[in-house]
């Protein structure tokens, strides 16, 4: 339905996009006792670390091979070796997740070969898994880095298993799902008597719990044991098109068949998901979810008065854009602007004439007349300038709490999303005045101006909140 | 024009730095930052440092030439405040692609500069070099020179790619860029005998505005703050100041020293954290101005102001003192902040049980010893695990540090206060010190601690439960006793 275009600017203004290596790092953070490590200059790690700390408000384990000018030219073998051995000595992790950066990719370090040499030299680290993903900064975006890392996890650790566990399924979640989403999906799957292993599982490591002891690596997430038995599962579910490559890879390596769900937000999307689980398990859909389905229907009915005909502008990575964009269209909204970060087969299916691979400046230009703006926290300056209601979705969200628990999947998550969106419109409703229906354009402008001012007032305390940080 | 390599050597050879002067030629060449350990390193790169130092200049377009990581992963994430333009918070980057890596990114950079000038019309564009574009040999200095000639606006190259070193080196290279291309290129409309520069102050959380009213009252004009809430032209004519104060000891010493050398602007190193430090800094500013020809009565007026402000601040702090007396503080921060905050906390009656000196100079360390005594607990590189242990074993009551380590405290359910870049509260000058003490008091006595520390009822045996209740009561009583 949509044409996908790329902007023709030389200069990106107000980036929407983040880079591949930190997407890969986040995927590695979903593995238990893992140390995500970027092969690049120390700044590459530092920027990513700060970003995740501000988003999740959690301790973030992340290391660097600390490349400098000289060893970039000479090759990073020594640095990778030192990094691996130092991490091994200090933290004894089960897994080191290594991702390359623009710097080391430009040089062309053959990291796979380095790792082989290092392993030959250090038999003591034989038990520790080392997963390497090639993720140059100047190609793709965050979501691509995540998806490449998961493909590499599968390539490195998946093996065919002769003994199958009929109640076990693998779930490959996209980077757009929060720890809260993953918990919800797990609960749904478990209610069918199945057990789900998420690869990776950031709900274990980044859900904001208080651990008993200090650990320098990730705490919680998919265990090495679970990763090595991916092949024992009965089926694999991929959530979000970005997981397609990993699902295929897993089937090719282990023979476990996959099913893709492009999103789990929306009534029909969840009907399909639960129907699938019911068929797979041979069990009826539990009463709990029939009830939730009915609640969602009711919520959609209550909300449709407010969402119908509203114009929405979204800036998000492809799979999140697909989830949110499709759903607001299902709620009768008009998607008036869609800006994203990287290519994806989903983009052409978006319910809009044109999807732009661009930045927040592009979104700002296209969102001028919108009723609601949806993007990550960096949209705050734009929302203030445009004086439009603004909902934060995606990563990073650094000026709101509870991002890890934000729920948009399942009937329950969809219901919460419906309410959040409809409430935003209700809060932004303009009172009728004697001038509202006057036919001349001047009066129309006045009305708009007054409404704009009212909104600005409300907006200051209710909508942006962290005004001190925006000011 | 010096090459980047020569610049780095020049910065390492800093006569204003005492440590540097005690080194041999060979040692000096290695620079002042320790070699990073792969797999055990933390902190930002030189590019990060350069950006921190210059981004507070508010009306400039800061353009990052590199792949999306360098700007996309971390833009608009600092607390430097502006009284006017918000342009500095706009993220500009060339976001180079694979093709640029192969064919070179200079054309894209040039076009980007033109687009920015067309759309945003800033007084200047700062172009930041990054690792990848440095590695492929993009000559940003040449592009900037061509763009300046073509567009008639200053386009300033900031040559501090991440891989040349750590954050601190980046601060200094940023300073060099200002010295080479900005400072001295414009003239102020008028000058007064009371014009000063403040160097190395970034106006985080608006801290400059806690100081400015004091200076205003004394009739002292901040000709330029480098770089907090600065406008491009202010930095450009800062060479007409009569005196300068250097705030963050290691970050911009080269700027202060070279401005003294080139423009005869004497400087001192001071701090606005803590009452005594603020007193001292105000005195020094006044003294330097008088030395440079301002009327002597300034000194008396300064003393009067100090007396008034100090009395007022002490009164406010004394209000909190009983509840803070003897509280043990673990202070994890860098450089000048270590000693200036140490003295500030001692003023509040608190005891510093340890402080990090990772980024501090020998001078900084000496000052800490002066303040805390010879047995001062200074940690060169405190591991998170050790901080965790220290807090868990209650050897400290509160930790003050930067955002990254906050969870070490929170996860052991201990109070924590942000005193770094991203903080939301301003702690400078007299009002700031009172605010800091107030925030510490609030953090220590917050009702949340008792609640989250209490185990779930099903997790305690009946015997333990009664014990826990007992000890809970005792704590409560102690607090009351202290409050009284």
Q: What CATH number should be reported for the domain holding residue B218? A: 3.40.50.12380
> Domain A292-470 class?
alpha beta
A114 burial type by CB count under 10 A (0-12 exposed, 13-18 middle, 19+ buried):
buried
**Nearest-by-Cβ selection for B47 from A19, A43, A381:** A43
> Which CATH architecture describes the domain A20-139?
3-Layer(aba) Sandwich (3.40)
As a whole number, mean pLDDT of residues A437-449 equals: 55
CA distance B67 to chain A (A): 5
Residue B186 lies in a domain: no
Is A15 within 8 Å of chain B by CB? yes
**Nearest-by-Cβ selection for A15 from B38, B91, B165:** B91
Q: What is the pLDDT of residues A371-401, one digit of tens each?
A: 999 999 999 999 999 999 999 999 999 999 9
- What pLDDT, on a 0 to 100 scale, did the predictor assign at position B391? 80
- What pLDDT, on a 0 to 100 scale, did the predictor assign at position A451? 43
Of 3.40.50.970, 3.30.200.20, 3.40.50.1980, 3.30.365.10, the CATH number of A168-290 is: 3.40.50.1980
Which among B314, B348, B364 is the end of a domain?
Answer: B314
Contact map slice: B 391-420 vs A, CB within 8 A: 392, 403-404, 407-408, 411, 413
Instruction: Kindly report the CATH number assigned to the domain that includes residue B387.
Output: 3.40.50.1980
- The answer to whether residues B331 and B265 belong to one domain is no
CA distance A62 to chain B (A): 9
Give Rg (Cα) of chain B. 24
What string of DSSP letters covers B413-452? T--EEE-STT-SS---HHHHHHHHHHHHHHHHT-THHHHH
CB-defined contacts A:B, below 8 A: 218
CA distance A149 to chain B (A): 17
Residue B124 lies in a domain: yes
- What pLDDT, on a 0 to 100 scale, did the predictor assign at position A216? 78
Cβ atoms A409, A181 nearer than 8 A:
yes
**Nearest-by-Cβ selection for A46 from B38, B44, B107:** B44
Q: What angle do CA A66, A72, A76 make, to 5 degrees?
A: 70
- The answer to whether residues B50 and B175 belong to one domain is yes
CB contact under 8 A, A12 and B68: yes
Find the length of chain A. Answer: 471
- What pLDDT, on a 0 to 100 scale, did the predictor assign at position B363? 67
- The answer to whether residues B137 and B233 belong to one domain is no
- The answer to whether residues B238 and B310 belong to one domain is yes
Q: What is the pLDDT of residues A397-424, one digit of tens each?
A: 999 999 999 999 999 999 999 999 999 9
Using a CB-CB distance cutoff of 8 angstroms, which residues of chain B are in contact with residue A10? 94, 107-109, 111-112, 114-115
**Nearest-by-Cβ selection for A17 from B70, B72, B165:** B72
- Dist CA A110 CA B89 (whole Å): 38
**Does residue B57 surpass a pLDDT of 90?**
yes
Which among B181, B216, B244 is the end of a domain?
Answer: B181
Using a CB-CB distance cutoff of 8 angstroms, which residues of chain A are in contact with residue B111? 10-11
Q: What is the pLDDT of residues B219-276, one digit of tens each?
A: 999 999 999 999 999 999 999 999 999 986 667 899 999 999 999 999 998 888 888 8
Contact map slice: A 360-419 vs B, CB within 8 A: 378, 381, 398
CB contact under 8 A, B36 and A101: no
- What pLDDT, on a 0 to 100 scale, did the predictor assign at position B481? 41
- The answer to whether residues B128 and B48 belong to one domain is yes
> In chain A, what percentage of residues exceed pLDDT 70?
93
How many domains does chain B contain in total? 4
- The answer to whether residues B61 and B168 belong to one domain is yes
Which strand ranges, in their side-by-side order, compose the sheet holding B221-227? B221-227, B195-201, B243-246, B267-269
As a whole number, mean pLDDT of residues A144-172 equals: 96
Helix (H, G, I), strand (E, B) or coil at B361: coil
User: 């904001």: which residue's tokens?
Assistant: A208
- The answer to whether residues B263 and B153 belong to one domain is no
Q: What is the pLDDT of residues A179-202, one digit of tens each?
A: 999 999 999 999 999 999 999 999
Residue B26 lies in a domain: no
Terminal CA-to-CA distance of chain A, rounded, Å? 40
CB contact under 8 A, B75 and A48: no
Which chain A residue has its CA at the smallest distance from B167's CA? A43
Domain assignments of chain A as residue spans, ordered by start: 20-139, 168-290, 292-470
As a whole number, mean pLDDT of residues B444-448 equals: 94
Q: Beta strand pairing status for A334-340 and A311-315?
A: parallel
Residue B22 lies in a domain: no
Contact map slice: B 56-75 vs A, CB within 8 A: 63, 66-75
CB contact under 8 A, B132 and A53: no
3-state helix, strand, coil in chain A (%, to 5): 50, 15, 35
- The answer to whether residues B266 and B365 belong to one domain is no
For B200, the domain range is 195-314
Contact map slice: A 451-470 vs B, CB within 8 A: 468-469
Residue B268 lies in a domain: yes
Is A307 within 8 Å of chain B by CB? no
What's the pLDDT band for A468 if we cut at 50, 70, 90? very low
- Dist CA B379 CA B352 (whole Å): 12
Is A56 within 8 Å of chain B by CB? no
Cβ atoms A22, A51 nearer than 8 A:
yes
**Nearest-by-Cβ selection for B162 from A41, A53, A80:** A41
CB contact under 8 A, B48 and A136: no
- The answer to whether residues B310 and B377 belong to one domain is no
As a whole number, mean pLDDT of residues A352-361 equals: 97
Could you check whether the bond before residue A396 is cis, i.e. omega within 30 degrees of 0?
A: yes
Cβ atoms B187, B195 nearer than 8 A:
no
- Dist CA B450 CA B276 (whole Å): 35
As a whole number, mean pLDDT of residues B386-406 equals: 81
- The answer to whether residues B52 and B89 belong to one domain is yes
List residues bridging with B118 in a β-sheet: none
Cβ atoms B117, B151 nearer than 8 A:
yes
- What pLDDT, on a 0 to 100 scale, did the predictor assign at position B27? 65
- The answer to whether residues B214 and B280 belong to one domain is yes
- What pLDDT, on a 0 to 100 scale, did the predictor assign at position B234? 97
- The answer to whether residues B177 and B203 belong to one domain is no
> In chain A, what percentage of residues exceed pLDDT 90?
84
CA distance B250 to chain A (A): 19
């Amino acid at each position: 339905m949509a044409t996908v275009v790329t902007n023709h600017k030389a200069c990106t203004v107000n980036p929407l996009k983040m880079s591949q290596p930190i997407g890969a790092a986040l995927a590695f953070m979903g593995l238990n006792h893992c140390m995500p490590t970027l092969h690049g200059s120390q700044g590459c790690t530092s920027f990513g670390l700060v970003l995740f700390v501000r988003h999740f408000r959690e301790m973030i384990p992340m290391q660097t091979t600390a490349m400098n000018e000289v060893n970039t030219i000479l090759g990073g073998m020594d640095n990778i070796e030192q990094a691996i051995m130092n991490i091994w000595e200090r933290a004894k992790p089960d897994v080191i997740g290594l991702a390359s950066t623009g710097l080391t990719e430009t040089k062309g370090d053959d990291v796979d070969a380095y790792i082989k040499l290092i392993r030959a030299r250090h038999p003591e680290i034989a038990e520790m898994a080392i997963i390497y993903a090639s993720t140059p900064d100047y190609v793709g975006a965050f979501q691509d880095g995540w998806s490449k890392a998961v493909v590499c996890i599968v390539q490195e650790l998946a093996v065919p298993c002769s003994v199958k566990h009929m109640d076990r399924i693998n779930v490959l979640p996209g980077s757009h799902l929060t720890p809260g989403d993953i918990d919800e999906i797990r609960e749904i799957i478990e209610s069918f008597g199945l057990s789900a292993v998420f690869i990776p599982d950031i709900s274990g490591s980044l859900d904001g719990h208080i651990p008993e002891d200090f650990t320098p690596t990730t705490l919680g997430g998919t265990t090495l044991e679970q990763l090595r038995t991916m092949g024992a599962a009965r089926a694999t579910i991929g959530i979000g098109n970005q997981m397609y490559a990993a699902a295929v890879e897993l089937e090719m390596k282990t023979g476990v068949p996959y099913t893709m769900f492009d999103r789990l937000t929306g009534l029909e999307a969840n009907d399909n998901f639960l129907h699938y689980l019911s068929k797979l398990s041979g069990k009826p859909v539990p009463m709990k979810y029939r009830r939730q389905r009915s609640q969602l229907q009711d919520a959609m009915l209550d909300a449709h008065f407010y969402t119908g005909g509203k114009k929405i502008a979204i800036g998000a990575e492809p799979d999140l854009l697909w989830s949110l964009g499709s759903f607001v269209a299902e709620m009768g909204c008009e998607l008036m602007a869609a800006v994203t970060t990287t290519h994806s087969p989903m983009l052409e299916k978006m319910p809009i004439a044109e999807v732009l691979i661009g930045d927040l400046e592009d979104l700002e230009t296209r969102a001028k007349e919108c009723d609601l703006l949806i993007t990550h926290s960096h949209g705050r300056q734009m929302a203030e300038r445009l004086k439009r209601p603004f909902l934060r979705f995606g990563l990073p969200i650094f000026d709101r709490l509870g991002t890890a628990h934000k729920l948009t999947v399942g009937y329950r998550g969809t219901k919460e999303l419906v309410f959040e969106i409809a409430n935003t419109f209700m809060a932004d409703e303009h009172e009728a005045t004697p001038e509202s229906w006057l036919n001349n354009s001047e009066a129309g402008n006045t009305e708009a101006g007054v409404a704009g001012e009212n909104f600005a007032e409300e907006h200051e305390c209710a909508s942006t909140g962290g005004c001190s940080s925006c000011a | 024009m010096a090459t980047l390599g020569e610049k780095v050597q020049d910065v390492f050879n800093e006569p204003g730095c005492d440590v540097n002067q005690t080194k041999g030629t060979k040692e000096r060449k290695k620079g002042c930052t320790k070699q990073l350990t792969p797999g055990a390193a933390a902190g930002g790169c030189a590019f990060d440092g350069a950006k921190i130092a210059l981004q507070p200049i508010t009306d400039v377009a800061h353009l990052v030439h590199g792949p999306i990581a360098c700007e996309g992963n971390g833009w608009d994430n600092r607390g430097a405040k502006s009284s006017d333009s918000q342009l500095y918070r706009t993220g500009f980057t060339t976001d180079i692609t694979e093709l640029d890596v192969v064919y070179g990114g200079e054309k894209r950079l040039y076009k980007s500069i033109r687009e920015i000038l067309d759309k945003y019309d800033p007084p200047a564009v700062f172009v930041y070099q990054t690792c990848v574009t440095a590695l492929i040999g993009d000559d940003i200095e040449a592009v900037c020179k061509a763009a300046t000639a073509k567009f008639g606006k200053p386009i300033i190259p900031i040559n501090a790619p991440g891989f040349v070193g750590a954050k601190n080196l980046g601060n200094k290279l940023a300073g060099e860029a200002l010295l080479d291309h900005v400072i001295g290129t414009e003239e102020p409309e008028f000058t007064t005998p009371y014009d000063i520069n403040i160097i190395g102050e970034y106006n985080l959380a608006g801290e400059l505005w806690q100081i400015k009213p004091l200076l205003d009252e004394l009739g002292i004009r901040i000709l330029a703050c480098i770089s907090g809430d600065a406008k491009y032209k202010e930095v450009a004519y800062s060479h007409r100041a009569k005196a300068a104060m250097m705030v963050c000891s290691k970050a911009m010493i080269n700027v202060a020293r070279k401005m003294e050398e080139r423009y005869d602007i004497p400087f001192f190193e001071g701090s606005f954290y803590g009452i005594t430090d603020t007193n001292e800094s105000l005195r020094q500013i006044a003294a330097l101005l008088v030395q440079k020809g301002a009327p002597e009565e300034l000194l008396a007026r300064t003393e009067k102001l100090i007396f008034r402000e100090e009395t007022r601040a002490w009164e406010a702090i004394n209000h909190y003192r009983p509840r803070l007396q003897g509280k043990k503080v673990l202070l994890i921060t860098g450089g000048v902040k270590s000693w200036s905050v140490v003295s500030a906390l001692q003023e509040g009656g608190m005891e510093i049980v340890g402080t990090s000196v990772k980024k501090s100079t020998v001078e900084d360390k000496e000052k800490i010893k002066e303040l805390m005594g010879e047995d001062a607990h200074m940690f060169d590189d405190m591991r998170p695990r050790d901080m965790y242990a220290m807090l868990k074993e209650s050897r400290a009551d509160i930790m003050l540090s930067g955002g990254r380590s906050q969870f070490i405290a929170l996860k052991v359910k201990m109070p924590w206060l942000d005193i770094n870049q991203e903080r939301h509260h301003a702690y400078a000058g007299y009002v700031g010190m009172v605010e800091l003490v107030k925030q510490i008091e609030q953090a220590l006595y917050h009702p949340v601690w008792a609640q989250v520390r209490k185990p779930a009822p099903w997790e305690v045996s009946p015997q333990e439960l009664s014990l826990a209740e007992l000890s809970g009561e005792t704590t409560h009583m102690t607090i009351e006793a202290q409050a009284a």
